[in-house]
Amino acid sequence: MSVVGLFSGIGGFELAFARAGFKTSLMAEIEPAASAVLRERFPEIELRGDVATLGKLPEDADIMTAGFPCQNLSMAGDKSGIAGTKSGVVEKMFDLIETSHIQTVVIENVYFMLQLDRGNGMRWLADRFEALGYKWAYRILNSAAFGLPQRRRRVYMIASRTIDPRSVLFADEHGAPAQEEPTLSKPLGFYWTEGRSGIGLTVDGIPPLKVGSALGIPSAPAVLFPDGEVLTPGLGACEALQGFPKGWTDIELNHSRRPEWRMLGNAISVPVAEWIAKRIVHPGDVLNFRQEKIVSGKWPSAAWNVAGERIAVIASDWPVALPPRSIAEFRNGDWSRLSDRALDGFIERVLAGGLRVPAGFIEALRAADRKVRKAA
């Protein structure tokens, strides 16, 4: 089966589908830096720029992957919805689907689209796929379920004319593990650029890598390790935390500001997409999930329409549980100490916001602050 990748980013879908035995014949990506990565990592695949300028897709294309822009759909974006300047290019995606032989479409985006404007973005996608005769299913999936120490929840949608999309997304169910109590005996990941309303505290992992922050700083989360060090992962570690080989974005880029953080924050987690690709090759039996009709309001975290009726599904974001890896396994010389200025600012914001944090957390950060100052 031949794949075309729209809004390819740095090639997460392409890498994942290649690992599952698929061949990609065309990629499209408008961002120059991401395009440079694609050109370096997939020199044999035709690369085009703006999706809006594509005339038609290859005749033999069976599958389309699309991680279309989320800036207008995310909590960190402007929340203008799917018709926004960035996310609105998805209209062109449907024009291409309508004039091609694409049988199956795989989409990834932020889960906030299910809540924004009462789920209008997902409703719009469902309307369009149904009008073209596609069955569809979607489910929020957590990257942590696939062995990555990153609490990253994203919506994955499968629409198809030939396969039952439920056999891809709903043939597995493990269930989310019980939440661990955050204590200083385990690494604690957090957004050091936040603090007034939340910090994304994550036990033995990091909160989602993302493009921006409350301070407008594109940067990785920090981790307080049991040895008292407060460190932020470098680009190589962040590539690994998304499932890419280390050095994936390490190429010559002619940019005044390094765009790797943005590219990695926008990327999909490769192991999640690989699981989907392998399930497309080997569909499973649909499990007996609890179901109910979709009525109104925000859309559920999982749903399908395969027989003319939209059904909400009670499913976890952990369809599987691949062997977990501790964030400590990713710690190497690529990590950097958080500066005293950053620590001071974060502590001040947390205290001003009155947030609940684990016992000893603030004291441990202050000790790290003193250590950084002493080493300066």
Q: Which residues pair with 136 in a beta bridge?
A: 159, 305
The string over 185-199, giving b where at least 16 C-beta atoms fall within 10 Å of a residue's C-beta and e elsewhere, is: ebbbbbbbbbbeeeb
Q: List the catalytic residue out of 64, 70, 157, 264.
A: 70
Sheet of 202-203, strand order: 202-203, 188-190, 222-224, 230-232, 336-337
Helices (H) and strands (E) in the chain, counts: 10, 15
CA distances from 307 to 2, 136, 138, 157, 304 (A): 27, 10, 15, 17, 9
> Could you tell me the two tokens for 99?
């004039």
Residue 74: which of 175, 209, 219 has the closest Cα? 209
> Exposure pattern of 327-342 as b/e (b: 16+ CB <10 Å)?
beebbeebbebbbbeb
As a whole number of angstroms, the distance between CA 4 and CA 27 comes to: 6
Alpha carbon 285 to chain centroid distance?
26
The answer for residues whose C-beta is within 8 angstroms of residue 258's C-beta and 6 or more apart is none
Known catalytic membership, residue 238: no
Compute how many other C-beta atoms are within 10 angstroms of the C-beta atom of residue 256.
Answer: 5
The span from the first CA to the last CA of the chain, in angstroms, equals: 57
CA angle at 218 for the pair 214 and 224, rounded to the nearest 5°: 80
Rounded Cα–Cα distance for residues 219 and 203 (Å):
19
Distance, CA of 13 to CA of 193 (rounded, Å) = 29
Catalytic positions are: 70
